[in-house]
Amino acid sequence: MNMHQFSPRRHRGLLLATLALLIGGTSWVVAESSHDGKPSVNVKVDAVPLPRSDDTALSFSPIVKRVTPSVVKVVTRERAKEMEVGGGLPFDDPAFRHFFGPFFGGPGGQRRIVRQPPEMGLGSGIIVSADGYILTNNHVVDDADSVKVTLSDSRVLTAKVIGTDKKTDIAVIKVDARDLPAITFADSDDVQVGDRVLAVGNPFGIGETVTSGIVSGTGRSGATGLDYEDFIQTDAAINPGNSGGALVDMRGRLIGLNTAILSRSGGFQGIGFAIPANLARHVMDSLVTTGIVVRGFLGVTIQDLTPDLAEQFHLKSSKGVIISDVTPDGPASRAGLKSGDIVLDYSGRPVSDSRRLKFAVAATVPGATVKMRVLRNDQDEEVTVKIGELPGEKQHASISGGKDDGVLDGVEVSDLDASTRNEFEVPARVHGALVTNVDPASAAAEAGLSPGDVIQEINHQPVHTADDAVRLTEHSETRKTLLKLWSHGSTHFLVVDETDGKPSS
């Protein structure tokens, strides 16, 4: 779904704790710039491989002193919200009302509004540029109404959310400051199992904390349910509040963004996960440059080539990825790729499993031309493919620049495509920007705007796409916004009044 936000919806984020089956693999992320080859954030990169020896350092203190100024505490606040409770099964059951009657409406099951108190969240972040860009996790800032960053020199600065990507759990925030101590990036593709690492963050809000361990695995997936998982696994202790902190090598270079743990108790049990630095840089560049993450699209269904499949296809090796289906009129189809083709090489890099190919395609700029080497009928062939854009991938984040009083604050919209029309039952004759989410505490919600509505005009200007809706509200000089909507089979006008929070229509 092509998601856009008029204002970032963020919530407090503590460390993810999840039970899942771990699937092994080898880290292989194509860290290309998404925009004409020009990086959007001027980060420091040291790609020289780490020398490895049997020597054991007597102290990590020099590394810690170099790294900790680049790691910050992130505190979020979500304003008080109202929630409707009671009135429906199973809460109408007398047994429930006996225990929860006053809260769930009491006798008769009447619904009532309960006001939830403001909520606070805690996490960590990494300064990646001297002019104030900071990497953190999406789950740290998601749904937050305000974000504060505490630097190592005790300064507390207000941050705005530049962009978020739920598919990788990455977010970029920014503070208004200069000459900040930016961390240096390593080439995370060079990370090997057994490398010593340090995890730096702010667990439980007690202050900057450093833990040590080793890389326990690479290419981990299936741990958190994210669409794009390529985690570095470590036994360096990661606890609530460490989310968004730094995983660094023995040169103090960033190799990963601490993100999640695997735990049966909710506390750290020796299995932590970090997003590779190369993947974080790729997503960050896209978010900073355009506010969205655009991923490449090949248009194939793929699966790993098992020994049994290799035997049936008369192959001597099980290395490669088999194409089981090709999307009609997609990039692969137009290039002549077919079901049964074995992908051996993508853009000059060998492909040994489906995860490698998925990440490589996703990291390719839509419109780029890529050469692929495939095996077809025992013949080695080269195919040239023009990569498309993954449908439903565009996602705007901080359209209002992090301000709480932006026009149509708290409203998320998307383009209308086949999937969204089907999901919200929008007829083909209706055109505009689909409302996918509305903050219940916003003026838009009070005016009656709701998910499933289609914005056809804003202040008498036609709206054809979500980008149109964003553009027409980004620099509005009035706090009253006239909307023409298609809603539940009919068209009507609506006025959202943000001057005093009292809507009119």
| Active site members | 139, 169, 243
Record the tokens describing residue 20, joined without a space: 């899942």
SS3 labels along 84-151: EECCCCCCCCHHHHHHHCCCCCCCCCCCEEEEECCEEEEEEEEECCCCCEEEEEHHHHECCCEEEEEC
The total number of residues shown for the chain amounts to 505
What are the C-alpha distances in Å from 221 to residues 20, 168, 244, 275?
9, 11, 18, 11
Number of other residues whose CB lies within 10 A of the CB of residue 440: 13
Beta carbons of 293 and 280 less than 8 angstroms apart: no
Beta carbons of 233 and 216 less than 8 angstroms apart: yes
Beta carbons of 307 and 417 less than 8 angstroms apart: no
How far apart, in whole angstroms, are the C-alpha atoms of residue 17 and residue 240?
A: 9
Mapping DSSP to helix (H, G, I), strand (E, B) and coil, where does residue 301 land? Answer: strand
Mapping DSSP to helix (H, G, I), strand (E, B) and coil, where does residue 478 land? Answer: coil
| Sign, CA torsion 60/66/72/73 | positive
